[in-house]
Amino acid sequence: MRWRLVTKLCITWVKSSIGYAEDQKRTLKALGFNRLNQSVTHSDCASIRGMINKVRHLVKVEVESS
- pLDDT of amino acid 60: 98
Contact 59, 25 (CB under 8 A): no
pLDDT tens profile 24-51: 999 999 999 999 999 999 999 999 999 9
**Least confident residue range of 2-6, 9-13, 17-21, 44-48:** 2-6
Beta strands in the chain (DSSP E): 7-13, 39-43, 59-65
pTM: 0.88
The mean per-residue pLDDT over the stretch 3-29 comes to: 93
- The residues, ordered by sequence, that sit 6+ positions from 8 with a Cβ below 8 Å of its Cβ are 41, 42, 43, 44, 63, 64, 65, 66
CATH among 3.30.1390.20, 3.30.1330.60, 3.40.50.9100, 3.40.50.1240 for 7-65: 3.30.1390.20
